[in-house]
Amino acid sequence: MKRNYILAGIIAAAGFFLTACNDAEYTILDNSVYIADAASSAQSANVSMEVAGADVKITVRLAKQVATDVEVQIGLNAELIDAYNQLNSTEYKLLPSDKYSLGDGKVVIPAGNINAVYTVHIAPFDLEGNRYALPVVLTNVIKGDIGKSDSQSQFIYLIAQPLIVSVPVMKGYNNEGVDVHPDQDWNLLVPTWSIECWARMSAYSKNNQAIFDNWGDGETEVYIRFGDANAPYNYLQIKTLGGQVQTARDLVGGVWYHWAFVYNGTTLYIYRNGELDVQFDPPASARADGMVKFQRLKMIGSGATYFPDQCAMSQVRFWKTPLTQTQIKNNMYYAVDATNPNLIAYWPMDEGSGNVFRDITGNGNDAQVGANIIQTWEHNVRFDK
């Protein structure tokens, strides 16, 4: 499986990085030095890590030119990562010190110039689903009668491994499908759950093309399919807990979509490409204990008659917790740590051959692919491009 790496620089929410918008405005008007990447609360920057590594270019900027050199010291503040993780429900770690070179951290903006670029080199390495961060700060102004901007003097660069994988292209065949524990009942009870995946349908020509079915013995059905009885069928529908909800009829054949289905115990949410698409409150669970039962889990389970279109799928993750939108967005394009205790199963579906999708969590929930389900494999698929 081919993998590259990417360095994603994202500034945290206003409450985390900004002390007060008005203070920042007045400081800059009076001239100050700041990190250019931190000047916009909605900004993100991507730096690809090639075979030789990655160069993170940190631009240190003045609000206006001055007639003398300005020298600034750059450093790191690991506490920013803790605050960011708490705010965003993430699990970033400080980038290992042997993977980058900060050098002396001194940045000189020559007289008459408005900015200078400082480069931090990061060596290539396999993240193995972990998330790392480089929390950059301007520690002080060494030379020049200029103050640093309190609100724009810190920036976190988030490091992630983009998915470049093989994916199976599947369709229905007889009563076959992709079955987790096909020869035994799972009997899994959870109060909350999330399922996420990438899926691309060749078309939406038939109703009831089911991508997930939990076989809940009629107690707590979770049935996820494209199309119900009335055409056109280019929408996604979930039937669960005695109710159902569906997206708009606007899905396009041949387009990849990232889907995340989240149940928090009272409300069911559907996220499409990281954005909330629709939500509803289904009737109360049929179980007295309020649990949702996963007797088995089946994918591509409608058979040849009701699943004639081709479906490419990848990165199916089954969680016992309700994912937040921030978590969904942070994880869409990247591998995640398979040892996360909140994962029930994680099927990358990137084997490139064979008839078993391995559960890489170590929980033993491998999925058996039925005969003639996989039509072909596509390789080097990347979702963030």
Tens digits of residue pLDDT in 268-282: 999 999 999 999 999
User: In this model, does residue 47 exceed pLDDT 70?
Assistant: no
27-36, 230-239, 313-322, 353-362: least confidently modelled range:
27-36
> Which of 196, 58, 30, 248 is CA-nearest to residue 137?
58
pLDDT at residue 383, rounded to an integer: 93
For the chain, the average pLDDT equals 87
Q: Say what the pTM is.
A: 0.81
The whole-number pLDDT of residue 192 equals 96
Give mean pLDDT, residues 257-266.
97
Question: What is residue 329's three-state secondary structure?
Answer: helix
Q: What is the pLDDT of residues 6-17, one digit of tens each?
A: 444 443 333 444
pLDDT of residue 168: 98
Long-range contacts of 336-341 (CB under 8 A, 24+ apart): 336/129, 337/91, 337/128, 337/129, 337/130, 337/131, 338/129, 338/362, 340/91
pLDDT in tens, 291-317: 999 988 999 999 999 999 999 999 999
Tokens of 153: 């003097």
CATH 3.40.50.2300 describes domain 5-160:
no
E strands, 17-78, where?
32-35, 44-49, 54-62, 70-76
Return the pLDDT at 43: 45
**pLDDT (0 to 100) of residue 41:** 62
Kind of pairing between the strands at 132-143 and 93-94? parallel
Cα 43 → chain centroid = 17
Residue 261 burial (10 A CB sphere; 0-12, 13-18, 19+)? buried
pLDDT at residue number 50: 59
* Amino acid found at 88: N
The structural architecture, per CATH, of the domain 164-382 is Sandwich (2.60)
* DSSP H or E stretch at residue 325: helix 325-331
Token pair for residue 136? 């950059």
pLDDT value for 49: 59
Per domain, the residue ranges of the chain are 5-160, 164-382
In this prediction, residue 369 carries a pLDDT of 97
Alpha carbon separation from 302 to 145, 212, 251, 277 (Å, rounded): 71, 10, 19, 24
Helix then strand then coil, in percent of the chain rounded to 5, is 10, 45, 45
| Residue (of 291, 295, 290, 338) closest to 318 by Cα position | 338
Any idea which of 259-263, 286-290, 317-321 has the lowest mean pLDDT?
A: 286-290
Q: Confidence band (pLDDT; 50, 70, 90) for 374? A: very high
Q: How far apart are CA 377 and CA 299, in angstroms?
A: 17
pLDDT higher than threshold 90 for residue 56: no
For residues 98-117, average pLDDT: 95
Residue 211 pLDDT > 60: yes
What CA–CA distance (Å, rounded) separates 259 from 251?
12
Angstrom CA distances, 367 to 183, 184, 328, 359, stand at 11, 12, 23, 7
Spatial distance between the Cα atoms of 275 and 263, rounded to a whole number of angstroms? 16
pLDDT score, position 51: 60
CB 166 within 8 A of CB 378: yes
Q: Are 266 and 193 in contact (CB under 8 A)?
A: no
Looking at residue 11, what is its pLDDT?
A: 38
